[in-house]
Structure 1
Amino acid sequence: MDEVSMIGLDLAKGVFQVHGVDTTGDTVIQRQLRRGQMIGFFAKLPPCLIGMEACATSHYWARELTALGHEVRLLPPAYVKPYVKRGRKNDATDAAAICEAMASKGMTFVPVKTPEQQAGLMLHRARRLLVTQRTMLANAVRSHLAEFGIVEAPGEAGLGRLIPLAVDAADPSLPVAAREALAMLAAQLKDAEIKIEALDREILAWHRAEDASRRLATIPGIGPVIASTIVATVGDPSRFRTGRDFAAWLGLVPSQHSSGGKSVLGPITKMGDRYLRSLLVLGATAMLRRKTSGYGPWLASLLARKPARQASVALANKMARIAWAILAHGGIYRKPAAA
């Protein structure tokens, strides 16, 4: 046990796999632990380096093991996969792959989130789930009523005119069974909207309590939802050297295919946090649709050269870079002066 210098830990719901090596790379520990044995086992070990994949419960265990004096590093699962031996996919192989990947030079690690950061992200995850359910329920109400020839214009106004038909059953063409089913869907839709409004209030309160989030909200196209998501997701901005590194981490930079000295840029990589990337693109798209000025002649020049869809992604990239600069260097957004 005293010779252990590095451990790869494969997390699971009930059974955890431990793979430990010494300073020479030889395996000295290879065993399974139940959930209740985790704290007791690692409390007996001298401080060592522990690696885990950044997945469900990883941040919790990272905080617990750090409190015991160990150094914990979280690895992106995509970076661990190349180290898994082919044809031998099991927990023991995964733990060994984590240990090997952690020893690789140049490996990128995921920062451990605090309970406050995870709580803030939980508000956003719950809101996203409810928004998805609201969209599904609205589409269901529309499609079911369309089967009886009752159709309204797209948007909230049209849906607002359809809901009374589902709740009050004023239309005699609707059978009784259909009225009951539609009334249940309408009630569920209303309940989802109430819960989304409650989560919006919680997110706004979290945003107002964070100085960094309030400063990010000064950027055109970024409101409390996007600002609070960035602060809760990024954590320490110093882990990115430049704003471009942050944009690349979000997958907002072009993919590159180079061969024979010829470089071809393709669509964006779409790597990183999908939720945060989609929020930034939505914020940029809303700015273009509303024709909101805030980026000086740069945006006008971009729209003159690129289609609207490419312009919205480019604007999202710029918003991400500005957000990193504000997080890393402080201050608020200042509108560029006209040339």
Structure 2
Amino acid sequence: MDCHKQYDHATIINTETGEIRNKRLAHTTEEFREFIGDKADTRMVIESCWNWSRTYELTKDLVEEVILAHPLKVKAIASAKIKTDAIDSRTLAQLLMANLIPEAHLRKADNRIKQRTIRHRAFLVAMRTRVKNRINDMVSSQLLPAETLAARPKNLFAKRGKGENGVEWLKSLEWSRAEDSRMFESNMRIVEHLSHEISTSNEMVKDIYEKDKDARLLSTIPGIGRTLAVLISTEIDGIDRFGSPSRLCSYAGLVPSTHSSGGKTYHGKITLEGNKWLRWALMEAVVPASYADAEIRGKLNALRKIKNANVAKTIMARWLLKVLYHVLKEGRPYIAAHPADTNPGRLSIALANSQ
């Protein structure tokens, strides 16, 4: 099955007669049922893409088994100079017949709902940040009096109770043009609306957190709060599917690339393959973790002396990922074992005794 936005292109191969049928299908249960028919012993393959779950939900009860194919690995096995929907669909069917489909992880419905929820929150926060940056640009482009500039807070969006009130300072500005004033007010309303939606989304994340044992364990790790804990737990979707910490690091794309030829091996930048959300979450957790935990702070500072800041941060993100692997694997919360240990090459974690 070759999936698309408006339709899917399906190919059926009869393993006994060799008959091949293909058809473009609209996204309706009736069309799929009519094409597949009463074939309880049929196996189907879908290439993983942004909308694979829709086709999966339409067909999971019509066939015996649905396999999710890894798109990059399929391309490596069966790349073609001529590419059409019919050819792609037939290629997938032929690979399935030969048991050569490189499988991707097929998430269950409840995990996909959690995934959409936490990514929706991330989308809202990203939108709000963009609007805040626009407001910052507008303020920076204005010619303001010296006394107004002197009173400018460091955080323009801090509210009362946090030491400074940036919002009040913003609202007190006198704009030189009426158009700028109207755009500023529009942007402020957008920020306020998005903040309200983020608060609503936070409640949804909180509900997930309270029901997710893995997320609660992850929140014991420094730098990983409730939101990141839910995101990481959701993206991992069961630690048992990873046989080792190295495999989890590879899944997150936090391992160095390797080039080996003629007896010489070179290691380069991280691969950036795999789950970008998991990679982003670990990178986000590094700095807060260094503030909260002496061991992590010591390791990060030691790395910064021999590596640039970004490389040091990436290494610590990989270290944190190994830590959380053991936390989830053992099902025990994290505690710092050796606060004075600053050796970046040694993974030292402690797992609290289960109560």
Look up the SS of the partner of 2:5 in the other structure: coil
Aligned equivalents of 1:26, 1:116: Cα separation in 2: 38
Q: Is the 8 A contact 1:15 1:34 kept in 2?
A: yes
Identity of aligned residues (%): 20
Counterpart of 2:20 in structure 1 is 28
Structural mapping, 1:293-332, within 5 Å: 293-295=294-296, 301-332=302-333
Shift of 1:161: 6.0
Aligned equivalents of 1:24, 1:240: Cα separation in 2: 37
Counterpart of 2:266 in structure 1 is 264
Counterpart of 2:110 in structure 1 is 116
Counterpart of 2:33 in structure 1 is 39
Could you report, residue by residue, the CA deviation over 1:290-317 in whole angstroms, capped at 9, with x for unpaired residues? Answer: 2632459755654554333222211111
- Residue among 48, 55, 73 paired with 2:49: 55
Counterpart of 2:3 in structure 1 is 11
Counterpart of 1:89 in structure 2 is 83
Does residue 208 in structure 1 map to residue 200 in structure 2?
no
Shift of 1:230: 2.0
Gaps of 5+ in 1: 1-8
Q: Is the 8 A contact 2:156 2:170 kept in 1?
A: no
Counterpart of 1:5 in structure 2 is none
Aligned equivalents of 1:41, 1:22: Cα separation in 2: 13
Aligned equivalents of 1:248, 1:258: Cα separation in 2: 18
Does residue 142 in structure 1 map to residue 151 in structure 2?
no
Shift of 1:175: 2.0
Could you report, residue by residue, the CA deviation over 1:135-165 in whole angstroms, capped at 9, with x for unpaired residues? Answer: 2111211222332224646534589866446
> What is the Cα-based RMSD across aligned positions, in Å?
2.9
Look up the SS of the partner of 2:294 in the other structure: coil
Specify whether residues 213 and 27 from structure 1 end up closer, same or farther in structure 2 by C-alpha distance, changes over 3 A only.
farther
Specify whether residues 42 and 56 from structure 1 end up closer, same or farther in structure 2 by C-alpha distance, changes over 3 A only.
farther
Counterpart of 1:155 in structure 2 is 155
Could you report, residue by residue, the CA deviation over 1:160-202 in whole angstroms, capped at 9, with x for unpaired residues? Answer: 866446646x52x522222112111111111112222221232
Gaps of 5+ in 2: 342-355
Aligned equivalents of 1:296, 1:146: Cα separation in 2: 35
Counterpart of 1:187 in structure 2 is 189
- Which residue identity does 1:330 align to in structure 2? G
- Which residue identity does 1:139 align to in structure 2? N
Aligned equivalents of 1:299, 1:148: Cα separation in 2: 40
Counterpart of 1:6 in structure 2 is none
* TM-score of the pair, normalised by structure 2: 0.81
Specify whether residues 25 and 213 from structure 1 end up closer, same or farther in structure 2 by C-alpha distance, changes over 3 A only.
farther
Aligned equivalents of 2:210, 2:228: Cα separation in 1: 13
Counterpart of 2:252 in structure 1 is 250
Aligned equivalents of 1:337, 1:21: Cα separation in 2: 60
Shift of 1:114: 2.2
Q: Is the 8 A contact 1:296 1:337 kept in 2?
A: no
* TM-score of the pair, normalised by structure 1: 0.84
Does residue 132 in structure 1 map to residue 126 in structure 2?
yes
Aligned equivalents of 1:270, 1:42: Cα separation in 2: 38
Q: Is the 8 A contact 1:166 1:182 kept in 2?
A: no
Counterpart of 2:351 in structure 1 is none
